[in-house]
């Protein structure tokens, strides 16, 4: 961490404060003011136009009894939990690239990892929507060809799930409430985060050569090498990626909106807090109420991050 400085020297170095001024100015106008305006408007009944009416804490009281908003945190919990699983492929890929013999291959694999970042999000979304299409989508075609479909149908009958998978009827992945959550989790299947992979690679390279020799002497197999040598060192980067991923999941609603629509699809199963804020603001025209929901969501994320920093302390 940056070293401490005596009061006297700090006064002498007052010029340093000038360095933070541009950043502060920029953030104050374009990040803080909208946030403050959101807090201000959460005390009003506001339809986004000119007329607004001061109603004190009514928005917050209404939010407390808004079951749709609080139920949507269940889905968020599932998605956040699935984030932990979604980190694995990136870690596996980083470790495998790191253990390759030739440097040339390592370089070209890094290029391959970074390339998908350039593809605009709309393309990925289109391909996944096409993937889930019931009649001629890839997922159903694959299940039919591989015979997995009949397996699922027996599975459905055995546990009498009510015909989610029934013979001859293509599975509607986004049309059947029970399948929405699995579909949202499968989405983006290999979950390779380019930035994540490269950051882990960076951590792995800082492992000293002598540590590997020591592990070699103890006869550690590849799993033990990973468990005791490689994984501890990239633990901090993994934790950072996890925090970033969780914040993005908690705030995100674009995926659910484009795949399932503003009401969260059949059964409202795809509803997440961000989407309900969007729904209330733009569909019901209750901008003030949406701001109040935003503050609850912000408090939730803040609590989670503080918890994460305190209890997931990892020694560097």
Partner 1 sequence: MNATASSKASVAASRRRSDLPKHFVLILLLGISLLPFYMMMQISLKDNQAFFANNWLPGLPETWQWQNYLYAIRLILPYVVNSVVVSVTATAGCLATAILGAYFFARYKMPFSSLLWPAFLLLMLMPSVANIVPLFSIVKSLNLLNSLWALILLGAAGGLVFSIYVLRNFIEEIPQDIFEAAEIDGASHFRQIINVVIPMSGSIIGTLAILTFLNTWNDFLMPLIVLRDSEIFTIGVGLIYLNGEYVKEWGQIMAAFFVASLPLIIIFLFMMKLFIRGLSAGAVKG
Partner 2 sequence: MKTPRGLPFNRPRYQIAAAAALAVGLVAGWSHIKPSGDGAGTKRPTTLEGAWQAAAAFLFNDANNTFNAARLEPSQERERELGKAVTLLNVQPRTVENIAKARRIFETLSSGEDHDEPAIFSDYYLARIYERYETPPEPRKARTYYLKLLEKHAGHPVAEFGASAMVLMALYDNITPEERGRRFAGLEALGASLETSSGRRDYHLNMGNAYIDFEASREKALNHLLAADAETISLWQVESATWISIAELARDEGRDDLAEAYYKRFLSKYRRDNRHYSIERRLGALKNPKNMTADER
Partner 3 sequence: MRDKILNAIGMALLGVCFAVSLVRIAARQFSRDEQGGDHVTIRFAHWQLENGVRSTLDQIAAEYMKLHPGVKVVQLPIPESIYTNWLVTQLVGETAPDLIQIGIGMTDERIARFFLPLDDLASNPNPYNRGTSLEDLPLRATLFDGMESGYVSTLLEYYGVPISGASVRMYYNLELLEQITGAGTPPETYEELVSLAKETQAYAQRKGVPLVPIAGSRYNAPMIMQRLFSSQTQKLVERLNPPGIFGEDLIRRADDYLDGRWSLDSEEVRSGFDLMHEVGQYMQPGFIQLQRDDATLSFVQGRALMISTGSWDATSIRQQASFRIGVSTIPFPSTESRVYGRYLLGELSEAGTNGGVVFGITRGSPQADVAKDFLRFLASQRMNQLWTDESGWIPAVVGIKVTPDVAPFLPVTVGYLPGIYPSIAAGGTFPSLNRLVGINLHRLVGATGDTGAFINAIKPGYRDALIHDLRRNHRTALDISQRSDTQFGGLAWTALAQPNDVKAAARMNAFMQSASMNDRKLYRIRHSLEKAEVQ
- Under the rule (CB under 8 A), what is the footprint of partner 2? 44, 50-54
Contact predicate 232/207, CB 8 Å:
no
Please identify, among the stretches 52-60, 62-70, 71-79, 123-131, the one whose residues bind partner 1 according to the rule CB under 8 A: 123-131
Interactions with partner 1, residue window 214-233 (CB under 8 A)? 215-216, 222, 225
Which parts of 58-117 interact with partner 3 (CB under 8 A)?
A: none
Check if the beta carbon of residue 200 is closer than 8 Å to that of residue 94.
Answer: yes
Instruction: Write down the H helix ranges in 55-176.
Output: 58-64, 67-99, 103-114, 121-132, 138-145, 148-158
Distance (Å, whole) CA 254 – CA 239: 25
Structure tokens at 224: 């033990």
Greatest CA separation for the chain: 81
Q: Which does 218 bind (CB under 5 to 8 A by kind): partner 2, partner 3, partner 1, none?
A: none
CB distance 165 to 171 below 8 Å: yes
DSSP state letter for 4? P
User: Does position 85 bind partner 1 by CB under 8 A?
Assistant: no
Which range binds partner 3 by CB under 8 A, 4-12, 85-93, 160-168, 302-310?
Answer: 160-168
Quick one: which of 197, 194, 191 has its CA closest to 234? 197
Q: Which of 8, 15, 104, 310 binds partner 1 (CB under 8 A)?
A: 15
Q: Which of residues 20-59 bind partner 1 (CB under 8 A)?
A: 20, 22-24, 26-27, 29-35, 37-38, 41, 48
Q: Which of 2, 4, 6, 51 binds partner 3 (CB under 8 A)?
A: 51
Q: Choosing among partner 2, partner 1, partner 3, none, which partner's interface includes residue 54 (Cβ < 5 to 8 Å by kind)? A: partner 2
The strand ranges marked E within 22-169 are 44-46, 52-54
- Of 13 and 53, the one with the shorter C-beta distance to partner 2 is 53
Mark the segment that binds partner 1 (CB under 8 A) among 54-62, 74-82, 95-103, 261-269: 95-103
Contact 167, 153 (CB under 8 A): yes
- Give the C-alpha distances (Å, rounded to integers) separating 23 from 26, 69, 211, 244: 5, 35, 42, 22
- Per-residue x/- track, 170-199, partner 3 (CB under 8 A): xxxxxxxx----------------------
Distance CA 100, CA 96 (A): 6
Q: Which of 180, 183, 203, 256 binds partner 1 (CB under 8 A)?
A: 203
Q: Which is nearer to partner 2, 137 or 288 (CB)?
A: 288
**DSSP H or E segment with residue 91:** helix 67-99
Subset of residues 246 to 305 that bind partner 1, contact rule: CB under 8 A = 247, 250-251, 253, 273-274, 277-278, 281, 287, 290-291, 294, 297-298, 301-302, 305
Q: Is residue 47 involved in binding partner 3 (CB under 8 A)?
A: yes
In the complex, the residues that contact partner 3 under the rule CB under 8 A are: 47-51, 132-136, 162-163, 166, 169-177, 260-261, 263-268, 282-284
């Amino acid at each position: 961490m940056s070293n401490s400085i005596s009061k006297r020297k700090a006064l002498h170095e007052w010029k340093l404060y000038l360095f933070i001024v541009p950043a502060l100015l920029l953030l104050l106008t374009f990040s803080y003011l909208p946030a403050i305006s959101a807090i201000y408007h959460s005390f009003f009944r506001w339809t986004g136009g000119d007329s607004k009416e001061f109603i004190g804490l009514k928005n917050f009281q209404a939010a407390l009894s808004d079951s749709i908003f609080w139920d949507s945190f269940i889905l968020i919990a599932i998605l956040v939990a699935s984030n932990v699983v979604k980190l694995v492929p990136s870690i596996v890929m980083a470790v495998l690239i790191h253990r390759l013999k030739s440097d040339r291959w390592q370089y070209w694999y890094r290029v391959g990892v970074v390339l998908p970042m350039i593809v605009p999000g709309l393309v990925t979304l289109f391909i996944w929507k096409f993937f889930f299409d019931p009649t001629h989508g890839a997922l159903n075609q694959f299940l039919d060809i591989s015979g997995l479909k009949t397996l699922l149908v027996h599975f459905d009958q055995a546990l009498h799930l009510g015909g989610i998978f029934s013979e001859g009827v293509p599975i509607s992945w986004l049309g059947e409430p029970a399948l929405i959550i699995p579909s949202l989790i499968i989405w983006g299947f290999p979950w390779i985060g380019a930035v994540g992979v490269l950051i882990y690679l960076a951590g792995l390279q800082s492992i000293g050569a002598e540590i590997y020799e020591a592990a070699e002497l103890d006869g550690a197999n590849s799993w033990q090498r990973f468990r005791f040598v490689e994984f501890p060192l990239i633990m901090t980067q993994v934790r950072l990626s996890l925090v970033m991923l969780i914040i993005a999941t908690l705030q995100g609603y674009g995926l659910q909106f484009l795949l399932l629509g503003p009401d969260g699809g059949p059964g409202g199963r795809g509803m997440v807090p961000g989407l309900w804020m969007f729904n209330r603001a733009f569909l019901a025209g209750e901008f003030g109420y949406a701001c109040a929901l935003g503050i609850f969501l912000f408090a939730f994320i803040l609590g989670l991050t503080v918890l994460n920093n305190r209890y997931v302390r990892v020694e560097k």
